Amino acid sequence: MPIKMNDVVIIGDDGKFTPEFNPGMLGDEYKDSKFFETTPDVSSLLKVAVDTKRAMGKKLEGHIAPLGENPTDEEKATHRKNLMSGLGTVVEKVEDYALAKPENWPEGVPYDGESSKHMSTYLLERGWPKEDVQGLVSVYNKMSLERYVAFKRAEQDTFDTEVKELKVDWKGSALIKKTRTAAKAMIQFGTDELIAAMKESGLVTTPDDFTKWQGLNISAAQIRVWNNIGEAMKSDAAITDEGLTKGDQKAEQKGKLSKIYDHETSKSMT
């Protein structure tokens, strides 16, 4: 049975498109189409339709439809999870990310595991896949290590510079005398824990070894201060509040400090 369009037979009894048919009959946008040059009959057209449908089906496999208008939080979470599932392994809990301190992490360098935990907890809520979270934490660990190394390098440079300046000011025997005075002053006022640490480090016997001071987190500037305190403690001169009040202290307000070194450890240092 022939098929007509606008009273024009476009498909004959044999199922083929007639010479009277042209693509322009479907609309101006189709008039230059070459499609029907390779699709001469209904049978060919049906095959193209079936193949196209099959191809579109494969293309849409796993397709995630966009969110509708005003989606709920649950719909957003599900949508995000579906999107992320195509990017990697979606996990159900933080432990599934398998985050841990790197095996090659330098000894003595603090590891910020808490930040990794907080970060991964947030990313879990956002549906981030395992591979991406592990990669992000790896980058964070690298940055943290680089910052720590840079900080320690700057700290060491500062300490070395201060010690160098101290040795210039305290030449010869003055170095051992003044560092010993600083140590004795610290012992006099220090806590039991500090005194024990000073003894254990060997600072009590070798106060001119600046690595011992550094090990106790005491800077060269602090050593200077403690030496000044120690020198004042050894002096019979009174420590006054001159400059802090309008008048000088009265004679009876002044005291002698020469016997202030009463700690046994201080007495043992010669």
pLDDT of residue 257: 44
Please name the residues in contact with 95: beta carbons below 8 A apart, sequence gap of 6 or more: none
Residues 182 and 229 in one domain: yes
Residues 41 and 105 in one domain: no
- Tell me whether residue 130 is in a domain: yes
Query: What is the spatial distance between Cα 247 and Cα 238, in angstroms, rounded to a whole number?
Result: 15
- Tell me whether residue 181 is in a domain: yes
pLDDT of residue 253: 47
Residues 116 and 32 in one domain: no
- Is the pLDDT score of 12 beyond 60? yes
- The residue out of 152, 179, 196 marking a domain boundary is 152
Residues 258 and 176 in one domain: yes
Is residue 251 within 8 Å of residue 203, measured between CB atoms? no
For 223-241, how does the pLDDT look when each residue is reduced to its tens digit (9 = 90+)?
999 999 999 887 765 455 4
pLDDT of residue 255: 46
Residues 175 and 260 in one domain: yes
Residues 145 and 209 in one domain: no
pLDDT classification of 254: cutoffs 50, 70, 90: very low
- Tell me whether residue 248 is in a domain: yes
Does 166 or 73 have the greater pLDDT score? Answer: 166
Is residue 148 within 8 Å of residue 109, measured between CB atoms? yes
Query: What is the spatial distance between Cα 63 and Cα 30, in angstroms, rounded to a whole number?
Result: 30
- Tell me whether residue 158 is in a domain: no
In the chain, % of residues over pLDDT 70: 67
Two tokens, residue 142: 């690298």
- Tell me whether residue 70 is in a domain: no
Two tokens, residue 39: 């699709």
Residues 144 and 210 in one domain: no
- Tell me whether residue 118 is in a domain: yes
Residues 114 and 43 in one domain: no
Q: What domain count does the chain have?
A: 3
For 131-159, how does the pLDDT look when each residue is reduced to its tens digit (9 = 90+)?
888 888 889 999 999 999 999 999 999 99
For 15-63, how does the pLDDT look when each residue is reduced to its tens digit (9 = 90+)?
676 766 666 666 777 667 776 677 777 677 667 666 666 655 554 445 5
Q: Using only the alpha carbons of the chain, give its radius of gyration.
A: 43
The domain of 25 spans 3-48
